[in-house]
Structure 1
Amino acid sequence: MKEEITQEEEEYHISSDAVNSDEVNMVLNYSNTFAVFDRSGNIHPYGKMVQGIYHEGTRFINRLVLKFNGQKPLLLSGSIKEGNSIYSADLTNPMIKACKIQENSIHIERHQFVREGAFYEEIKILQYEPENCSFDLSLDFDGDFKDIFEIRGIKRKVDTHNAYPVDHNEYFETTYLGLDGIKRSFEIYFQSDAEYSLGGNRAVFSVNLTSKKVVTIQYCIHFLTGDEKKDAMSYAEASELNQFELNQSKTLFAEIKTSNTQFNHWLYRSEKDFISLLSQTDYGKYPYAGVPWYNTPFGRDGIIAAMEILWINPEIAKGVLLFLAANQAVDLISEKDAEPGKILHEARNGEMANTGEIPFKQYYGTIDATPLFIILAGMYYDRTGDLNLVKQIWPNIMTAVNWIDNYGDIDGDGFVEYIHKAKNGLTNQGWKDSFDSIMHENNQLADPPIALCEVQSYVYGAKLHAGKLALVLGNQDKSSRLYDEAAVLKKNFNERFWDADLSSFVLALDGQKKPCRVRSSNAGHCLFTGIADDDKAAVLADTLLASDMFSGWGVRTLSSSSGRYNPMSYHNGSIWPHDNALIGYGLSKYGLQKHVLKIMGAIFDASLFIELQRVPELYCGFEKRQGIGPTAYPVACSPQAWAVGTVFMLLQSCLRIDINAINKTITFDRIVLPDYLHEIRLTDLKLGNEKCGLIINRSKYGEVGFNILYKPDDWEIVIN
């Protein structure tokens, strides 16, 4: 049976050959649409490689190739603009023998972006030689309409329809009828200074250049589902809207500037990447998990990402809470792993989800999103004082608490466990959901139902926050009961999960209540809510920063002394930035600031070696080597919401800043700044309808000073 589960689970593992590791891929994303292409701005249909333009879980475009008289232009450079919205590539010509134009004589600029279900490109061509020159510039397009799970490596067991072109004189159209009965198509419209012809999914432009005269070609690709139609929009109009939205997005986050230019770039890149992953829902903005594999709503990811930026952008948490409340499970549906009160794991709308080939159309196979939902609600209330929202989602909070008690605790022992019910659902349902991520010290995989250590921590935090909110709403009895249950859980947890020989909480208890005696980063999440006793927290902090757990680039997911340790694995020895952020935040709750600084310094150092300082979903757990950056994990998502949110939670942990709208206080509790940050300027920090600004300085002796720029009259800044 276990072998069957393993094979089943490996279906959802992202195949390592889903990307070409020898090629550097560039990424642009906007809500439900994203593009992955090479540095030249091309998309090549090599096998099942990840390059393409995707919309709503389907790869619409798998070929987009620019050629110069049938030859590949030469790449000069390519980069994503700072605002994270446009990719620009500079190309030049190979030698053109027909008109004796030497190579590097013609400059070709490509500017590409995506927005609202469309892809736009502008190509500018400029000649620097004095002679006139004529040549053909061609663009080849094609689409395979593959579901993203096919790209990830899942082999379909059904025969799909073929895509077919629809002939038009002035534009391209290619259409595909899915097995879910949904028609998907793309249409390509052109504007050009040069004469052009269309045929066979190829556009050929007859370019006649004179010295210093620019020829411009523009086109847009619309991605359509069902009977959807889109009005054609020019490149200039779409670009102007993009710039308008970029300017508007500057007000979403409080502004943070430091004395360290590289740290500022990490902050800036992370903010822009986070914004690029936000999708507008009927309930507010929701951070999609990550590109390319998880560009869709995930419950756990959205909650943690919202927590990471809550102190500087509380509005995102509101959108996450309302969206997840609206999608909370109501019925018991085994094939979805759904139970009344359970919070969503993920939602998909691609062909394979619609046909049931994968279970993730609306899937609830997560053990931790439900208590995390309650914690986020409590944290959001503390940060904003928004009692109206608490009242609105209070029934959802109570239903979530009831799920913990009635469905989460499977065997009635006071701990929350999981066992998957959906035939093709996830076997492991914590954040480490690989099939082999929960094991015993003898390397044997744990049998369900499994009680993860961090889940008990989340449940403890959920009971405390729900108890607080019940008291705010005037329900003293319910509040007292929840606080009492939290206290009992804390006592039992520290007795059952702490292992003195490991100097750590065990990873989990298996179905026979046998402890999984391995050191893992999961134990660090037990600091996040305060469930760990103070003496155990201090010991655990040293364990997490010991050489077997800490690589120099961050805390590993699994100790290098474990038999299943593999620094190149997904969950058994790799390093996840968001994991480190939660650990750092937990350490700060216990005042263990030296440990916090070590973790933040490690992730910051790693970012300096990573292109664009775009910290990815994960990287390998190899020991830090002098002068060499962290080793990339080949199919990591980048950008990934909870990865790019890491810097904000780590900085919050460093500052030990607590913003409480109920008491109208901003408290800094014995902060310590790292050596590389001498000054932090925080402006436009939202406090209700008003704002605050202040400067934090670090002297050469390590002492910290404050300068309050402005604040609301009825708010107090407390410095301990």
Structure 2
Amino acid sequence: MTAGWEYEGGPPLVADAVTLVDGTTFCLSDAAGDIAPGTAAGLYVRDTRILSSWALEVDGHRIQPLAVLPGQDGFSAVHVARTPPPPGRADSPLLVLVDRRVGEGMCVQVTVRNLAARPTTCTVRVRVDADFADLFEVKEGVTRAAAVAVRAVRADGLWLQAPDRPRRALRVSGQGAYVGPDGLSWSLTLGPREQVCVGLEADAVIDGQPLSPSHRCGSAVHESWPAARMRSWRTSTASIGTADPGLAHTLERSVEDLGALQIADPDDPDVGVVAAGAPWYMALFGRDSLLTSLMALVLDQGLAVSTVRALAALQGTRTEPRSEEEPGKIPHETRHGPRARARDVGAYYGSVDATPLFVVAVGELVRFGLDEALLAELLPHVDRALDWMVNRGDRDGDGFVEYCRATPAGLLHQGWKDSFDAITFADGRPAEPPIALCEVQGYVYAAFRARSEMAAVLGDAAGARRWDERAARLREAFDARFWLPARGYLALGLDGAKRPIDALTSNAGHCLWSGIVLPERSGALAEQLVGARMFTGWGVRTLASDMAAYNPVSYHNGSVWPHDNALLAAGLMRYGHVDAAQRVAIGVLEAADAFDGRLPELFCGFDREEFATPVPYPTSCSPQAWASAAPLSLVRTLMRLEPAVPQGLVRIDPVVPWRYLPLEVADMPLAGTRVTIGVDPDGAHVGHLPPGIRIEGWSGGAPGAGP
């Protein structure tokens, strides 16, 4: 394990874990609402676990969970429970409702209801502990004793603080509570059929200043930034409707989760950017946030605009080996916990693909009609990113962008498959850096093409021609070095000795998405990607089943990732492999049904014929931003929707399977206005098209045949 930036599965979550998210605050608990010590559960605020143990007892007994009722907002839930039945009785006389809300802390309202016809008394006690562990310590499984030197009982509650983390503390308070060194308690008297409520709050204390919980139990006095952002976002984005109930539910969950995963831009608190996912990725990430916003463009372009602007503000300006910062480079992730403070590394730049994807995202925004003033603002950052790709990114001058970590504390592998064992040859041998990944060359190719289009928009014909020629040279060189004619697929990459890494992986699908693959190669590649070695029935595996490193219960060596499949399906469709693209899209969307509409970060790569439902990966993050955006991308792929506003057109040629019809995207932002695109058995119908924009690529025929 490297020094923390890498996530290779992390510690197992508690059984039936309940995850609540509000910006950079999240809580992991069990079905009763308790936080068990020694697990990954806890209340996390700004990358610090401020609660590592939380136990609710009634008359000295733990409550028995009955149900969890999640809120529609992502940051609240009600745990329905009962007290254990008295000896000799089958039923319990007391019902317990635990209403929990998170946001810069946690607010809990406990309601005890007497179900009996006679009065009763009880004692409610909440025991708390804190280890103030850095998020990385928890996800790496590094044990840390809850070494709290200060357990001060004060007039405003119980205070806990660790001697080695003086900048972080916890205050727990509750009206009318008895405050002791291990928690709070109340003595309650309940009449027949009566209920009594008590409330308590867990406040994170940063640099001596308590952060008041954003959501007060039973009160709507203070609306948190994420809640306000969610409300505003839902009213300003497109809506997607379909006749298929399963897809409709999946799309609704996707939109809810993307809203819940938005956090404030650290440099502009009024602007929202998408975090990568819960529980471990509640921060701005380069690759993840960019791909998520790209896949969600059919819903909202504002998210992509705010993401690229936030990343532009963090673009590298110096050479710093500890953080792997380099001039022009886009960061991999940002952090604010104790470890980041101690190492003075709030942003880490160990990603080879965030920088080209940044340019790709700006280019796609231009195709959707990005305002020229915003393009002018972003263009210097685009050119600095391109300069990094052409010079520092191409470490040896061979025309390909490689990675090799600058410090042993950095990530060994710096593409999207960044676990230590993710890049291997077909025979299982690990590839040694510097490594030029196939999909990264595709991203660079797409970035060159995007810059050419930007130049054309700005009237720079010579610049447009120059970047197109650079893209063409890269495409030709890529085919010569990465295509494996004897195998009929692309090499995963080139290792440090420039040998092709000959494993068959899903990365090649990204090359179809970017357009770097020569058209004459696409048929053979498509056949490999949806063949029995790769396609599970629920999606395409990350690694073919006959590769030596294959393991269907691995993080990157045989599992199925929804976002990976969304890009792969878009790539198949780009090259006209409609049946293959539909097959992948339907498989992933049917997997979403099995996960109650919420696609996880990944799931196991077993064949559908072996298991009737997709098998969850034990430490998969959920909700995960790019998994949440995957269904939106798949819908766009099936609609074959490609705006080209600078050329004055929108291309649409739907091949939506009949089961999803009619399908409509209403109020999709485009070129400063909103359009509505519907697809039914008679074809596509476009409403409210802005002046000067025409439809191309649709002849009015029925959608392509599909299951």
1:36 Cα offset (Å): 0.3
Q: Which residue of 2 aligns with 1:683?
A: 666
User: Following superposition of structure 1 onto structure 2, how do residues 186-225 of structure 1 map, counting pairs within 5 Å?
Assistant: 186-191=170-175, 196-225=177-206
Structure 2 residue 124 is the aligned partner of structure 1 residue 137: yes
Q: Which amino acid aligns with 2:119?
A: N
Aligned partner of residue 544 in structure 2, secondary structure: coil
Asked if structure 2 preserves the Cα contact closer than 8 Å seen for 1:178 and 1:184, the reply is no
Q: How does 1:507-522 map to 2 (within 5 A)?
A: 507-522=492-507
1:162 is displaced (CA, Å) by 3.6
Partner of 1:456: 441
In the superposition, relative to structure 1, how do residues 241 and 101 fare at CA in structure 2: closer, same or farther (>3 Å)?
Answer: farther
Q: Give the counterpart letter for 2:623 in structure 1.
A: P
Deviations 1:534-561 (A, max 9, x none): 1211221111000111111111111111
2:217 equivalent among 208, 221, 235: 235
1:563 aligns with 2:551: no
Superposed, which structure 2 residues align to 1:187-586 within 5 Å? 187-191=171-175, 196-230=177-211, 234-238=216-220, 241=223, 246-281=230-265, 282-283=267-268, 284-356=271-343, 361-586=346-571
Q: 1:36 aligns with which of 16, 24, 28?
A: 28
Distance in 2 between residues matched to 1:641 and 1:401, nearest whole Å: 26
State the partner residue of 1:5.
none
Cα distance in 1 for partners of 2:389, 2:684 equals 43
Question: Match for 1:303: what amino acid?
Answer: L
Which stretch shifts more, 414-423 or 438-447?
438-447
Listed one character per residue, the Cα deviations across residues 144-174 of structure 1 (whole Å, up to 9, x for unaligned) are 1011121122548x99964422221342221
Q: Do the aligned partners of residues 330 and 17 (structure 1) sit closer, same or farther apart at CA in structure 2, a change above 3 Å counting?
A: closer
Indicate conservation of the 8 Å contact 2:3/2:409, yes or no. Answer: no
SS in 1 for 2:322: helix
Q: After superposing the two structures, state which structure 1 stretch, 322-331 or 245-254, moved more.
A: 245-254
C-alpha distance in structure 1 between counterparts of 2:639 and 2:631, whole Å: 12
State the match for 2:150 in structure 1: 164
Structure 1 residues 62 and 390, CA gap change in structure 2 (3 angstroms): same
Q: RMSD value over aligned CA atoms?
A: 2.3
2:131/2:145 contact within 8 Å kept: no
Whether 1:53 aligns to 2:22 is: no
For residue 376 of structure 1, report the CA deviation from its aligned partner.
0.5
Amino acid at match of 1:130: A
- Equivalent of 2:62, from 72, 78, 84? 72
Cα distance, 1:136 vs structure 2: 0.9
Q: 1:546 & 1:360 partners in 2: Cα distance?
A: 44
Change (3 A) 1:634 1:261: same
3-state SS of paired residue (1:470): helix
* Letter in structure 2 aligned against 1:467: S
2-side partners of 1:360 and 1:679: how far apart? 50
Which residue is equivalent to 2:704? none
Moved more, 522-531 or 414-423: 414-423
Deviation at 1:643, TM superposition (A): 1.0
Distance 1:237 1:467, change over 3 A: same
Contact residue 145 and residue 163 of structure 1 kept, 8 A: no
TM-score (normalizing by structure 1): 0.91
State the one-letter code of the partner of 1:68.
V
- What are the superposed Cα offsets for residues 394-422 of structure 1, whole Å, 9 maximum, x if unpaired? 11111111111111111111111111112
Q: Equivalent residue for 2:705? A: none
Q: Tell me the distance in 2 between the aligned counterparts of 1:138 and 1:15.
A: 37
Deviation per residue, 1:56-109 (Å, 9 max, x gap): 111100111111111122221113233323212111222246xx9873433222
Partner of 1:19: 12
**TM-score of the aligned structures, taking structure 2 as reference length:** 0.93
Distance 1:591 1:235 in 2: 53
SS at match of 1:581: helix
Distance 2:118 2:147 in 1: 51
Letter in 1 for 2:200: Y
Structure 2: runs of 5 or more not aligned:
700-707
User: Does the C-alpha gap of structure 1 residues 660 and 481 become closer, same or farther in structure 2, counting only changes over 3 Å?
Assistant: closer
User: Which stretch shows the higher mean deviation, 377-386 or 235-244?
Assistant: 235-244
8 Å contact 2:423–2:430 — kept in the other structure? yes
> 1:637 and 1:628, CA in 2 relative to 1: closer, same or farther beyond 3 A?
same
> Which residue in 2 is equivalent to 1:695?
678
- Structure 1 residues 123 and 154, CA, compared in 2 at 3 Å: closer, same or farther? closer
8 Å Cα contact 1:14/1:635 also seen in 2: no
Distance in 1, matches of 2:655 and 2:460, equals 39
User: What letter corresponds to residue 136 of structure 1 in structure 2?
Assistant: T
Code of the residue aligned with 1:52 in structure 2: it is G
Is 2:230–2:260's contact at 8 Å kept on the other side of the alignment? no
Name the CA distance, whole Å, in 2 between partners of 1:42 and 1:160. 17
Secondary structure (helix, strand or coil) at the match of 2:250 reads helix
The residue identity in structure 2 corresponding to 1:705 is G
What is aligned with 2:161? 175
Aligned AA for 1:152? K
Stretch deviating more after TM superposition (708-717 or 23-32): 708-717
Q: Secondary structure at the match of 2:26?
A: strand
Does 1:147 pair with 2:125?
no
Change (3 A) 1:525 1:64: same
Residue by residue, what CA displacement relative to the aligned partner does 1:644-669 show, whole Å, maximum 9, x if unpaired? 11101111111111223334543312
Structure-2 separation of matches of 1:101 and 1:83? 38
TM-superposed deviation, 1:318: 0.6
1:636 aligns with 2:620: yes
Query: Is 1:549–1:556's contact at 8 Å kept on the other side of the alignment?
Result: yes
Residues 238 and 658 of structure 1, relative CA distance in 2, 3 Å threshold: same
Q: Tell me, what secondary structure is at the counterpart of 2:659?
A: coil
Contact 1:93–1:103 (Cα < 8 Å) also in 2: no
Q: Secondary structure at the match of 2:154?
A: coil
C-alpha distance in structure 2 between counterparts of 1:389 and 1:324, whole Å: 14
How far did residue 235 of structure 1 move?
2.1
Measure how far apart 1:277 and its partner are.
0.9
The number of residues matched between the two structures is 692
Contact 2:671 2:690 in 1 (8 A): no
Shift of 1:716: 3.9
Does structure 2 retain, via aligned residues, the 8 Å contact 1:143–1:163? Answer: no
SS at match of 2:500: coil
Contact 1:82-1:269 within 8 A present in 2 as well: no
* Cα distance between partner residues in 2 of 1:120 and 1:628: 40
Cα 1:546/1:360, change in 2 over 3 Å:
farther
**C-alpha separation between the residues in 2 aligned to 1:144 and 1:184?**
10
Match in the other structure for 2:102: 114
Residues 609-643 of structure 1: per-residue CA shift (max 9 Å, x gap)? 22x42211111111114663222222211111111
**C-alpha separation in 2, matches of 1:167 and 1:211:** 35
The 1:346/1:54 distance shift into structure 2, 3 A limit, reads same
In structure 1, runs of 5+ residues without a counterpart are 1-7, 699-703
Q: Distance in 2 between the 1:384 and 1:17 partners?
A: 41
CA deviation after TM superposition for structure 1 residue 706, in Å? 3.6
Do the aligned residues in 1 keep the contact of 2:152 with 2:160 (CA within 8 Å)? yes
> Cα–Cα, structure 1 residues 624 and 435, in superposed 2: closer, same or farther, change >3 Å?
same
Is 2:96 the partner of 1:103?
no
Aligned twin of 1:653: 637
Residues 509 and 627 of structure 1: CA distance in aligned 2, closer, same or farther (over 3 Å): closer
